[in-house]
Amino acid sequence: MRWPDRPARPLAAARLGVPPPRAVPARIVAGLKLTALLIALAVVIAGCAGVPSASAPQAIGTVERPAPSNLPKPTPGMDPDRLLREFLKATADPANRHLAARQFLTQSASNAWDDAGSALLIDHVVFVETHSAERVSVAMRADKLGSLSDMGVFETAEGVVPDPGPIELIKTPGGWRIDRLPNGVFLDWQQFQATYKRNTLYFADPTGKTVVPDPRYVAVADRDQLATELVSKLIAGPRPEMAKSVRNMLGPPLRLRGPVTRADGGKSGIGRGYAGARIDLELLTVADPHSKELLAAQIIWTLARADIKGPYVINADGAALDERFAAGWNPSDVAATDPGVAEGAAAGVHALVGGALVSLDGQRSDPVPGAFGRTTDQTGAALSRSGHQVASVVTLRPGAPDMAASLWIGDLGGEAVEAADGHSLSRPTWSLDDAVWVVADGNTVLRAIQSTASGQPARLPVDSAAVSNHFPGVIAELQLSRDGTRAAMVIEGQVILASVEQTQAGQFALAYPRRLGFGLGSSVVSLSWRTDDDVAVSRNDAAHPVSYVNIDGVNSDAPSGNLQLPVGAIAADPSIVYVADPRGVMQLSMSGAEGPQGWLDVPPFMVPGAMPVLPG
């Protein structure tokens, strides 16, 4: 899609006459000992799968796996308090309906215990015991840190666990055992970190251009079983909130013919060294080359990001998925779908300086040619995903009762066309289908795309009722992930994530909104996606003016040295972060393996009020 080269109304004319405006708890996770998790998060962001991870209470059941070696077992000498704490650790193994944890129960309690559904991750557990002759009744209090679904989806939470009701223990010949307990699974946070590992599944985006991350936490003690577990989870499909946002080329009736092996059929050393991996599928339903390539991309990126190395021999119904790669695929064969690549990176960083769009040329900056370099009333801008086009918001009389804003779109270096207007408009963001999204007047989400009939921009509403119902308030910012399947928003200073869904009628909606980064409180000013599962945020927090939060909800802090408050607009990509402070645009640079990260000024953009602009 290309936007018209010539505007119906010149961008500069926005200065002359604009139509009247149209009406259109503070801690991260209580007691969260996140050191290990945040270190691991940094590894994941760098492209490895090294975060503590989790799986599901035997959601798929295709892998016969041994119990993790670090799980406790009941012993006759355990007192009630210790037995309960060891029970909470044993729930980390979901195999065979939590068989490891059931050893701590009497037979009648085991028969009655319903362990289905999500596990609640808890810490700072306090047991209050009431004793009788042969029985102990226990009330449990604990901090709630998150949940782990039966698919292995982890999400952070905060607060205290609601009273689950009494837990009762009785004395048996083998020692104390739990004789009555509430339904559901309570999982000890420390044991969760020790047992589970974060891995990422990848599904195809709706346009077929890239793949979309779906992090899962998997408890697989035997490394040679991990590949089978991950491919099985791919076949089982995405998390529910992504079901209408992605495509799964490995969906039913496709299935694994047998466990994943080495490329030569061996059962040990899978994906290590040059052994590669062999995936035998059956009941293939896709036939066209592009769909087969997307299927391969889902498998390859899922295994490669889990450090299961190729070549990847992918067979379907007894033959090679693609004869060109009968000897095995490599990540380079699906490089076009690489989820870690920012397509428009070659365009470089730009900035709004004095309200005009300027480019960086070594140690100097120059206004870009055309409308975006001429106009000096621009208050927000973004380059397209390719870096070839620009969307920009022009705001007249900012802060005044008759403030008026308009959205302009055009080629970088060319002219522009007006696509939307309102009393206020948020910083624009681009989707993979070259549509531009903005929020008008704080709560109306709009999507502007070129009409195939007229060639002019069409302004289409996005259904955001689910967001406003759960999180009422002004949407100060909305930014789409690079794959276009998720929207991160700033609402009342909080980060809210929603799935982007498209209906059969072609309309778009924001669904399944949830809060990320409880530890950020209500301090967030601006946000930008670093990767497709990690967001950089600027904050009005003097100690931590820039932080990160991933789509699990875990937040961590960036360095703060050499930044001045208040910080404003932030722009990020996988390799660098830019933020505006009172002096101009600052960048977060890596100073080498032995030195810390630090903020440096971008000399040509060191002008008060300057704002960074990247593709996004």
One-character DSSP codes across 112-149 = H----SPEEEEEEEEEEEEE-SSEEEEEEEEEEEEEE-
Express each pLDDT in 515-564 by its tens digit. 999 999 999 999 999 999 999 999 999 999 999 999 999 999 999 999 99
Decide the pairing of beta strands 486-491 and 494-502. antiparallel
Q: Give tens-digit pLDDT for 151-170.
A: 999 999 999 999 999 999 99
Which pLDDT score, from 0 to 100, does residue 19 have?
32
**Helices within 340-443 (DSSP H only):** 371-374
The Cα-based distances of 603 to 332, 351, 363, 364, 583 in angstroms read: 37, 12, 7, 8, 10
Nearest CA among 345, 301, 410, 355 for reference residue 572: 345
- Give 443-482 pLDDT, tens digit per residue: 999 999 987 667 788 999 999 999 999 999 999 999 999 9
Where residue 490 falls among pLDDT bands split at 50, 70, 90?
very high
Overall average pLDDT of the 34-39 stretch: 36
* For residues 414-422, average pLDDT: 96
Cα–Cα dist 419/407, whole Å: 5
Which region, left, alpha or beta, applies to residue 578 given φ > 0 means left and ψ of -120 to 50 means alpha?
A: beta
* pLDDT higher than threshold 70 for residue 48: no
Contacts of 196 (CB under 8 A, 6+ apart): 52, 53, 54, 55, 92, 148, 217, 218, 219
Q: Is residue 40 part of a domain?
A: no
The last residue of a domain, from among 195, 212, 234:
195
Beta bridge partners of 160: 143
Q: What is the share, in percent, of the chain residues with pLDDT greater than 70? A: 87
Do both 284 and 414 map to the same domain?
no
Can you tell me the distance from the alpha carbon of 398 to that of 346, in angstroms, rounded to the nearest whole number?
Answer: 33
Q: Based on the domain organization, do 280 and 402 belong to the same domain?
A: no
**Do the domain assignments include residue 476?**
yes
Regarding whether 232 and 181 lie in a shared domain, the answer is no
The DSSP bridge pattern shows strands 436-440 and 364-367 to be unpaired
Q: Is the pLDDT of residue 21 over 90?
A: no
CATH code where residue 125 lies: 3.10.450
pLDDT of residue 295: 98
Q: Give the angle 200-206-209 at the CA atoms, nearest 5°.
A: 75
Does residue 317 share a domain with residue 380? no
Question: Region 420-426: what's the mean pLDDT?
Answer: 97
Report if residue 6 sits inside a domain: no
127 and 269 fall within a common domain: no
Residue 342 has what pLDDT?
A: 81
pLDDT at 220: 87
Q: What is the pTM of this model?
A: 0.87
Q: Which residue has the higher pLDDT, 6 or 295?
A: 295
Cβ atoms 551, 512 nearer than 8 A:
no
pLDDT category, 302, cuts 50, 70, 90? very high
Q: What is the DSSP letter of 333?
A: G
pLDDT, residue 122, reads: 97
What pLDDT band is residue 594 in, cutting at 50, 70 and 90? low
Per-residue confidence (pLDDT) for residue 315, from 0 to 100: 98
Domains contained in the chain, number = 3
Whether residues 359 and 504 fall in one domain: yes
Cβ atoms of 151 and 239 closer than 8 Å? yes
Using pLDDT thresholds of 50, 70 and 90, give the confidence band for residue 341.
confident
pLDDT at 384 over 50: yes
**Is residue 36 included in any domain, yes or no?**
no
* Same domain, yes or no: 160 and 233: no
Q: Are 549 and 441 members of one domain?
A: yes
Mean pLDDT of 63-91: 84
Q: Is the pLDDT of residue 23 over 50?
A: no
Using the 3D structure, point to which of 337, 370, 404 is the last residue of a domain: 337
Q: pLDDT (tens digit, 9 = 90+) per residue, 558-593?
A: 999 999 999 999 999 999 999 999 999 999 975 454
- CA separation (Å) from 205 to 238, 246, 428, 433, 461? 12, 5, 21, 11, 22
Contact 288, 296 (CB under 8 A): no
- Shared-domain flag, residues 60 and 143: yes
Q: How confident is the model at residue 132 (pLDDT cuts 50, 70, 90)?
A: confident
pLDDT in the model for residue 70? 72
Question: Which of 269, 302, 337 marks a domain boundary?
Answer: 337
By C-alpha distance, which of 585, 604, 60 is closest to 366?
A: 604
Nearest CA among 243, 254, 257 for reference residue 295: 254
Q: Which residues of 504-534 are buried (b: 16+ CB within 10 A; e: fewer)?
A: eeeebbbbbbbbbbbbbbebbbbbbbbbbbb
383-399: average pLDDT: 96
Q: What is the pLDDT of residue 17?
A: 30
- The total number of residues shown for the chain amounts to 616
Q: Is the pLDDT of residue 411 over 90?
A: yes
- Is the pLDDT assigned to residue 363 strictly greater than 70? yes
Q: What is the arithmetic mean of pLDDT over 416-428?
A: 97
Q: Residue 58: which residues within 8 A CB-CB, separation 6 or more?
A: 94, 95, 96, 97, 150
Q: What is the DSSP code (8-state) at residue 67?
A: P
123 within a domain of the structure (yes/no): yes
Mean pLDDT of 383-388: 95
- What are the DSSP calls for 525-591, one per residue? EEEEEEETTEEEEEES-SS-SEEEEETTS-EEE---TT--SSP--EEEETTEEEEEETTEEEEEE--
Task: Kindly compute the dihedral angle of the four CA atoms of residues 310, 573, 438, 444, in this order, to the nearest 10 degrees.
Answer: 70
For the chain, what is the mean pLDDT?
88
Q: What is the pLDDT of residue 493?
A: 98
The domain of 544 spans 11-24+342-613
Q: What's the CATH code of the domain at 389?
A: 2.120.10.30
Same domain, 403 and 279: no
Q: What is the rounded average pLDDT of the residues 49-70?
A: 40
pLDDT band at 3 (very low <50, low <70, confident <90, very high): very low
Q: Is 346 found in the same domain as 321?
A: no
| Residue 215 within a domain | no
pLDDT band at 345 (very low <50, low <70, confident <90, very high): confident
Q: Is residue 466 part of a domain?
A: yes
Question: Is 376 inside a domain boundary?
Answer: yes
For residue 68, the model assigns a pLDDT of: 60
Tokens of residue 160, six digits: 């205290």
pLDDT, residue 66, reads: 54
Look at residue 495 and tell me whether its pLDDT is greater than 90.
yes
Look at residue 336 and tell me whether its pLDDT is greater than 60. Answer: yes
298 and 394 co-located in one domain: no
